[in-house]
Structure 1
Amino acid sequence: MTGTEKRSRHIGVHIDRPVDEVYAYASDPANLPAWARGLGGSIEKRGERWVAESSPMGRVVVSFAPLNAFGVLDHDVTLPSGETVHNPFRVIADGAGTEAVFTLRRQPGTTDAEFERDAAMVVADLVRLKELLETAVSA
């Protein structure tokens, strides 16, 4: 792959919590700094959008799908360049637990190494989400 082809990777993790609990936590943007390190250490609501000033990419603006009964947590991230990246994200009931699935879309010009790095960051974020939710119950 040359880095110019578009491809997606679905990255999922099973969370041993009911889907409504996972959705309630993950759909609240105020919780993002605790588990989504790609957005930096803080996020602040400004109007209908959320702004992360200290993300690794610089200042980014995040717009979230409206709350819904379908487990859709899609969000658009507007980068400092003005480019907007759409991020599909779902939580799906899986027995008594939940499957959290993020679709990582390879952006034009992304090298294989960059795509793998991005995938590893998404895995780390989803594992952090899993640990936070499963640990909160046992604490």
Structure 2
Amino acid sequence: MTSVQKTKTISVTVDRGPGEVYEFIANPEHLPQWAPGFCRSVRRAEEEWIAETPDGPMTIHFVPGNEFGVLDHYVSPAPGQLILNPMRVIPNGPGCEVLFTVFQQPGMSDEQFTTDIRLVENDLQTLKGVLERLL
């Protein structure tokens, strides 16, 4: 039986409509623009996306498009390993909140978990900047 993982949910307020933000994030081709801590480049390979990350290539799969702002995605750093990254866009007046939950993976030290949290915080700040300039 596995134990409950430690988590941290990070959010950023974006001064853009939730629909615009959702559509931008849902396109994997945009990952290198807003998630440079995770993804240096991304390419389509048949039915999946391959992200070039600091830890090597990883497949990435977003959940199907939906009207609820759910942008959960799975990354696979190695065959047979699948990591869920819960992500949401929530309306906030004319803007929105983008939420991302980081899980402390089995075997990950507290220091590595803290580093992952900082990387996601930085990526969400980059996302905010990109969206508020572009859209």
State the TM bucket, normalised to the shorter chain.
over 0.9
CA distance in 1 between partners of 2:74 and 2:47 (Å): 13
CA distance in 2 between partners of 1:48 and 1:18 (Å): 30
Pairing 1:114–2:115 present: no
Pairing 1:18–2:14 present: no
Aligned pairs, number: 133
User: Which SS does the other structure have where 1:40 is aligned?
Assistant: coil
Q: Tell me the equivalent position of 2:35.
A: 36
Q: Deviation at 1:41? A: 1.6
Asked whether the equivalents of residues 63 and 76 of structure 1 are also in contact (C-alpha less than 8 Å), the reply is yes
User: Which SS does the other structure have where 2:41 is aligned?
Assistant: coil
Q: TM-score, normalised by structure 2?
A: 0.92
Aligned runs of 1:67-106 on 2, under 5 Å? 67-80=65-78, 82-106=80-104
Deviation track 1:78-115 (CA, whole Å, cap 9, x = no partner) reads 01354110110000001111100001011011111111
Q: Tell me the equivalent position of 2:62.
A: 64
Pairing 1:55–2:53 present: yes
Aligned-pair Cα RMSD in Å: 1.5
CA distance in 2 between partners of 1:75 and 1:38 (Å): 16
Q: Deviation at 1:38? A: 3.7
Instruction: Give identity over the alignment, percent.
Output: 40
Pairing 1:45–2:40 present: no
CA distance in 1 between partners of 2:128 and 2:38 (Å): 18
CA distance in 1 between partners of 2:48 and 2:36 (Å): 18
Listed as ranges, the gaps of 5+ residues in structure 1 are: none
Listed as ranges, the gaps of 5+ residues in structure 2 are: none
CA distance in 2 between partners of 1:67 and 1:57 (Å): 28
User: Which SS does the other structure have where 1:128 is aligned?
Assistant: helix
Q: Tell me the equivalent position of 1:6.
A: 5
Q: TM-score, normalised by structure 1?
A: 0.90
